[in-house]
Homo-oligomer: A and B are copies of this chain.
Amino acid sequence: MRIRLASEADWPAIWPFYRVIAEAGETYSLPDEPMETAIAQWFAPGHTVVVAVEDDGTAPRDDGVPGRDGVPAGDTVLGSAHYGPNRPARGSHVSTASFMVAPEAAGRGIGRALGEHVVAAAAADGYRSMQFNAVVETNTAAVKLWTSLGFRIIGTVPEAFDHATEGLVGLHIMLKPFERADS
């Protein structure tokens, strides 16, 4: 498994698990919308999108030329993450990010790998911290993962998420300050 920058050519590979996760209604409050608007939001201007991919045994192209339909050969997309500024202008030094892992690839550490990658990339890009605005409190795997990566819960908005099976549950705001080489 490796993590690489995503392009619009990856939309069709992200969309199946994006839709499953959105429709499950357990971890994200996402509208019911077609791929064209949903994934466009994932690739919103100013955001960097990566995918975790598995080599499917065919030789990946190493000449920088995209494979068939623009997708490098040898890729099976297992998950995706995007990050960018949490606010514009005077709030743009704080990053935010979102993560999705294909349900059939759960339990393989892909969320952790994407998290570590995105935190390092955002810090390298010069952001001072990363803020998650809405971590569903019943998503204990996510809370545990982010805590292990140095995020702490800033506060919890009670009953802010209408969980598909649990009803109204809280949303955590979580923050990880980045260590800075110049401080």
A75-83, A99-107, A126-134: which lies at the interface: A126-134
Interface band, chain A = 35 or more
Contact of A31 with B160 at beta-carbon distance under 8 Å, contacts A133-B133, A173-B154 already known: no
Interface on chain A toward B: helix, strand, loop, or mixed SS?
strand
A146 at the interface (CB under 8 A from B): no
CA distance A133 to B94 in the complex (A): 14
Q: Choose among B91, B133, B163 the residue that contacts A29 (Cβ–Cβ < 8 A).
A: B91
Interface pair A129/B159, CB less than 8 Å apart: yes
A52 at the interface (CB under 8 A from B): no
Contact of A90 with B163 at beta-carbon distance under 8 Å, contacts A133-B133, A154-B156 already known: yes
A93 at the interface (CB under 8 A from B): yes
Interface pair B91/A161, CB less than 8 Å apart: yes
User: CB-defined interface of A103-139 with B at 8 Å, one 1/0 digit per residue?
Assistant: 0000000000000000000000000110101100000
Given contact pairs A91-B171, A155-B173, a sample of 15 additional A-B residue pairs in the complex whose CB atoms are under 8 Å apart? A25-B90, A29-B87, A29-B91, A30-B88, A30-B89, A90-B164, A91-B160, A91-B162, A129-B157, A129-B160, A131-B157, A133-B133, A154-B155, A155-B156, A157-B173
A interface list, Cβ under 8 A from B: 25, 28-32, 86-94, 128-129, 131, 133-134, 153-164, 171, 173, 175, 177
